[in-house]
Structure 1
Amino acid sequence: MKIGIVGLGLIGGSLGLDLKTYGYEVLGVSRRESTCTKAVAMGCVDTASVDLSLLGKTDVVFICTPLGLIIPTARQLITSLGRNVIITDVGSVKTPIVEGINPLWENFVGGHPMAGTADSGIEAAQRNLFVERPYVITPTATTRPENIQVIEGIVQQLGAKIYYCQPEEHDRAVSLISHLPVMVSAALIASCMAEGESQVLQLAQQLASSGFRDTSRVGGGNPELGVMMAEYNRDALLRSLSEYRHQLDELIALITQENWQGLTTKLNSTHQARPKFVE
Structure 2
Amino acid sequence: MMDGFGERSLFRRVAIIGLGVIGGSLGMALTQGRVVEEVVGFDRDPATLEVALATHTVHRIATDPVEAVRGAQVVVLATPVSLYPALLAQIGPALAPGTIVTDVGSTKRWVVETMSSQLPTGCFFVGGHPMAGSEKRGIEGADRYLLENAVYVLTPDEHTDPEALAQIEGLVMAIGARVVCLAPAEHDHVVALVSHLPHMVAVALMETLGASGEHRSMATMLAAGGFRDTTRIAAGDPRMWCDIAWTNREALLAVIDQYQASLARIAEAIRTYDPKREGEAATEAAADGALPGVGVGSGSLGEPCRGGSGSSSELSTTNKLSAVLAHARQARLAIPGRAKGVLPGIHEVIVTVADEPGIIGKIAQILGAQAINIADIEILRVREGHGGTIRLGFAHGHEADLAVDYLRDAGIIVKRI
The verdict on a shared fold, with TM-score over 0.5 as the criterion, is: yes
1:185 aligns with 2:202: yes
User: Which of the residues 14, 19, 22 maps onto 2:33?
Assistant: 22
TM-score under structure 2 length normalisation: 0.64
- Between the aligned partners of 1:159 and 1:16, the Cα distance in structure 2 is 13
CA contact (8 A) 1:131 1:160 kept: yes
CA contact (8 A) 2:85 2:118 kept: no
Q: Structure with the greater relative contact order (CA < 8 A, sep ≥ 6): 1 or 2? A: 1
1:160 aligns with 2:218: no
User: Which of the residues 185, 197, 221 maps onto 1:206?
Assistant: 221
Shift of 1:67: 2.0
1:100 aligns with 2:100: no
- Between the aligned partners of 2:50 and 2:236, the Cα distance in structure 1 is 26
1:264 aligns with 2:322: yes
Moved more, 49-58 or 38-47: 49-58
CA contact (8 A) 1:6 1:65 kept: yes
User: Which of the residues 187, 208, 222 maps onto 1:170?
Assistant: 187
Secondary structure at the aligned position of 1:3 is classed as: strand
Alignment of 1:34-45 (within 5 A): 34-45=47-58
Letter in 2 for 1:262: K
Share of identical aligned residues, percent? 38
User: When you count helix as a share of all residues, which structure comes out higher?
Assistant: 1
Shift of 1:70: 2.3
Secondary structure at the aligned position of 1:127 is classed as: coil
User: Which of the residues 224, 230, 240 maps onto 2:255?
Assistant: 240
Letter in 2 for 1:28: G
- Between the aligned partners of 1:66 and 1:277, the Cα distance in structure 2 is 31
Secondary structure at the aligned position of 2:159 is classed as: coil
Q: Which runs of 5+ in 1 are unaligned?
A: none
Deviations 1:235-274 (A, max 9, x none): 1011000000000000000000115542222122112212
- Between the aligned partners of 1:61 and 1:226, the Cα distance in structure 2 is 23
- Between the aligned partners of 1:67 and 1:4, the Cα distance in structure 2 is 17
User: Which of the residues 12, 24, 34 maps onto 1:13?
Assistant: 24
- Between the aligned partners of 1:228 and 1:274, the Cα distance in structure 2 is 30
Shift of 1:61: 0.9
- Between the aligned partners of 2:196 and 2:229, the Cα distance in structure 1 is 16
Shift of 1:50: 2.7
User: Which of the residues 45, 60, 67 maps onto 1:32?
Assistant: 45
CA contact (8 A) 2:102 2:126 kept: yes
- Between the aligned partners of 2:136 and 2:335, the Cα distance in structure 1 is 24
Deviations 1:114-143 (A, max 9, x none): 111111111211111112211111111111
Letter in 2 for 1:272: Q
CA contact (8 A) 1:114 1:133 kept: yes
- Between the aligned partners of 2:236 and 2:70, the Cα distance in structure 1 is 35
Letter in 2 for 1:103: S
Secondary structure at the aligned position of 1:50 is classed as: coil
Tell me which structure has the larger Cα radius of gyration. Answer: 2
Aligned residues between the structures: 277
Secondary structure at the aligned position of 1:191 is classed as: helix
- Between the aligned partners of 1:115 and 1:21, the Cα distance in structure 2 is 19
- Between the aligned partners of 1:277 and 1:75, the Cα distance in structure 2 is 43
Q: Which runs of 5+ in 2 are unaligned?
A: 1-10, 279-318, 338-417
- Between the aligned partners of 1:94 and 1:72, the Cα distance in structure 2 is 17
CA contact (8 A) 2:131 2:150 kept: yes
Other-structure match for 1:140: 157
CA contact (8 A) 2:14 2:72 kept: yes
Secondary structure at the aligned position of 2:102 is classed as: strand
Change over 3 Å in CA distance of 1:218–1:78 after alignment to 2: same
Letter in 2 for 1:234: R
- Between the aligned partners of 1:51 and 1:165, the Cα distance in structure 2 is 33
Other-structure match for 1:68: 82
Letter in 1 for 2:47: S
CA contact (8 A) 2:135 2:141 kept: no
Moved more, 14-23 or 38-47: 14-23
Shift of 1:277: 4.1
User: Which of the residues 160, 168, 172 maps onto 1:151?
Assistant: 168
1:89 aligns with 2:106: no
